[in-house]
Structure 1
């Protein structure tokens, strides 16, 4: 049980990731080591499940996490210790940190789940939600940089910038409409073949 709980620690997770990737292609349900690794993967996916929620919920959790990070960073600064960039409210660029986290940690976990359970609708839906939230953060970063031209000053206030959020949502809706229209107009689709 201890190993399974430790799997939620990122340093441990990265150590066992090669083994997790290996069991995807050759899972043996009677192998105790494979069973343990699967349990680690499932507990880690539960720990990361906030990233499978809708944008509003995911953003709220991110705000709580960065409040905690920045409080720790402030405490470290007061003790004369230089905090990690993600814990330094003056240096952290939240959209970029979220993109790195989703791309480097969250999405690979849910991709493994989909590979292990290809017929599990919940695994597919979770991966799609993670991918959608990644798209939100990518567009958030793009629009923020276009609007302000810098990463500096991107603090907790971004979670309450309604105008910026409106621009992100509108931009993504427009992009999704274009993709849908392209698919409908592409050769072989029902609408282009006259069906």
Structure 2
């Protein structure tokens, strides 16, 4: 690669990696949703390409939520285990109360937190991609099935493990 192409490749990679930050997702998602709702099907300019790439990175980053229930449930448990360890460190070393999702004392709220995560982040982006490209509907439908299972757990009911 020549130096200019290399710099551009690095810029694109950096942007893609930063797009996995949910703060970036929330800043950009409304612009993406508006384009999809208008029926945008050409992603040929750099701004639109960057927006699309960022939303795809978010969709990939949270894709465990669309996997079969037992896989998705295990991934959620592993992620929350890591969050709880970080929360424990914040409580122990910094003498600060961690945010709810990192607070081991609130582990019983995991199903409710998962429903909020799905409703606030996952379903909106997967619905937009399903609208844009119908072949991606399984991501939205798998996420909905998992949402239903987390909702059942939050209500003290059994999840439908066959979904």
Give the TM-score band, short-chain normalised: 0.7 to 0.9
For the pair 1:82 / 2:82, whether they are aligned, the reply is no
Query: 1:126 aligned to 134, 139, 149, which one?
Result: 139
Q: Secondary structure in 1 aligned to 2:58? A: helix
Query: 2:124 aligned to 79, 83, 108, which one?
Result: 108
Q: Secondary structure in 1 aligned to 2:106? A: coil
CA-based RMSD of the aligned residues comes to 1.7
What TM-score, normalized to structure 2?
0.84
User: Following superposition of structure 1 onto structure 2, how do residues 1-195 of structure 1 map, counting pairs within 5 Å?
Assistant: 1=12, 2-24=14-36, 25-27=38-40, 28-79=42-93, 80-92=95-107, 93-118=109-134, 120=135, 123-143=136-156, 167-169=158-160
Instruction: Select the structure with the greater relative contact order (CA < 8 A; seq sep ≥ 6).
Output: 2
Provide the C-alpha distance between the structure 1 equivalents of 2:45 and 2:34, rounded to a whole number of angstroms. Answer: 13
Contact 1:143–1:168 (8 Å) recurs in 2? no
- Count of equivalent residues: 147
Which consecutive residues of structure 2, in runs of 5 or more, have no partner in the other structure? 1-11
**Which residue matches 1:148?**
none
Which consecutive residues of structure 1, in runs of 5 or more, have no partner in the other structure? 145-166, 174-195
Q: Deviations over 1:79-115 (max 9, x none)?
A: 2111111111112410010000000001111011012
Contact 2:43–2:52 (8 Å) recurs in 1? no
Contact 2:65–2:122 (8 Å) recurs in 1? yes
- Using the TM superposition, give the Cα deviation of residue 69 of structure 1 relative to its aligned residue in structure 2, in angstroms: 0.6
Provide the C-alpha distance between the structure 1 equivalents of 2:33 and 2:97, rounded to a whole number of angstroms. Answer: 35
Structure ID, larger Rg? 1
Q: Secondary structure in 2 aligned to 1:33? A: helix
What TM-score, normalized to structure 1?
0.71
Provide the C-alpha distance between the structure 2 equivalents of 1:19 and 1:3, rounded to a whole number of angstroms. Answer: 16
